[in-house]
Structure 1
């Protein structure tokens, strides 16, 4: 008898509850404030939720709006370049080694060093409140490797018989790419794009840590840490996780809608 699978919504509730309980236990045990002091590096989740409630979401939105914009722009550029190179490999197989090496090197580059060079070459925000060019670049860099690898694996997973049919009818490599490989690769590509969402957001935050910007999640965390305002630091942490999860879930919903055959749902013709 097959065991019943836990529904996705129930698994999410169980996971969030477990994280909050673990967070609370750490805050009242290991990271409990020393006697005579009130500062704690890890405030309880109830203190953080109360801080967000008292502050309201409006002041946080002005901070996150810039970082989300940077992450979206970097996500678009990084993934577009990755998909273009992956498709080019199938049209010109001889450059596969070069593209793979570029992807691996981009993944292994130390972010601190790259960010330091980027802030000198690209700079930060042109005007107060504008996105940072360095943050956009690091967001694009953060998603490049994942999407290149996912796209290459997906494009190579197409059925050989279908490719042969296209070839027999005089189709070129581009025709194979358009009519067979892209359809077969959609699940892998969308999965790579889904994984790239949190990476792009994290890359944008790291780019803001390099400076050159007056508003954003990264620079806000630096200011709050300097003020020893741990409840609001953790409030920003929590909201960052929520933003990343929302983006991850949205791409997941898009993947389910575009590739219904993967989840086993009926396809309407």
Structure 2
């Protein structure tokens, strides 16, 4: 019997390699309409952009650089307005903004997730902290600029603080909602089994809140990006926000549009990375949604 089992196991095909799994997923994605609809949406947006600025040259749009003008400068070795993929300064702006976002995202996650878990788990902690968060959350990031500049030295710290502040609220509140969404029956079942408060927190609260936590992280990184750009426009020496502002001040509209498009691509990529990490860490949740057809 053991020999037959061994023979069966020996004759079983080996599990697919990582490359095979990636290829299978790629084929599956290409077989669905999603990527083609995405490309069609981008093409439609570019067509409308070209039509407004370069095709019809409508009022209020005729002075804006169209997509052809922007792309020509973007890929030119000798750009007319000084910025392209061949200019080292372009990549320095991207690097500085990405570094600031990474630092702000790590800090806001490290603070926001524990605060949200504790607020959702303990009514006492929520009663202390939630009113403060609700008082500070509606204050725009730009209103913090006059305080951030004297509070933190240099150009770097105020910008990181402002991006962290905005992302913190989104992370903490979504985490708190995640804990509050957990069914009470799980807590009762854990109590009947004699679980300590620490075990309930570790094995019920944290896993139950994970879907909301990663949703909050996707929101927070987007919030961090537009807060960062606003901060770089006021207090910064490099970065995509600083690039956009300086292009506006110098009336160089092509670098301004290049900076805006670059910001969109980098923000989209960063949100995709957070989403991919979340799906990887929560494969059980992804499978549950798939079984529900969502």
Are the equivalent residues in 2 in contact too, given 1:221–1:236 (CA < 8 A)?
yes
Q: Which has the higher helix share?
A: 2
Mapped pair 1:89 → 2:128? no
Quote the RMSD (CA, aligned, Å): 2.1
Instruction: Answer whether contact 2:121 2:205 (CA < 8 A) is retained.
Output: no
| TM value normalised by structure 2 | 0.77
Deviation at 1:110, TM superposition (A): 2.7
Post-superposition offset of 1:250: 0.9
Matched, 1:101 2:131: yes
Contact 1:209 1:219 in 2 (8 A): yes
**Unaligned regions of 5+ residues in structure 2, if any?**
1-31, 77-83
The verdict on how the C-alpha distance between 1:7 and 1:160 changes in structure 2, with shifts beyond 3 A counting, is: farther
Aligned residue pairs total: 248
Partner of 1:189: 213
Q: 1:106 to 1:45 in 2, by over 3 A?
A: farther
Structure 1: 5+ residue runs without aligned partners? 1-5, 34-39, 126-131
Matches of 1:23 and 1:133, distance apart in 2: 37
Pairing 1:175–2:199 present: yes
1:67 maps to which residue? 97
1:31 aligns with 2:60: yes
Bigger Rg, which one: 2
Q: CA deviation at 1:261?
A: 3.4
Aligned pair in 2 of structure 1 residues 95, 63: CA closer, same or farther (>3 Å)?
Answer: same
* Aligned mates of 1:10, 1:103 — CA distance in 2: 42
Instruction: State the alpha-carbon separation in 2 of the partners of residues 193 and 251 from structure 1.
Output: 7
- The CA distance in 2 between the partners of 1:152 and 1:97, in whole Å, is 13
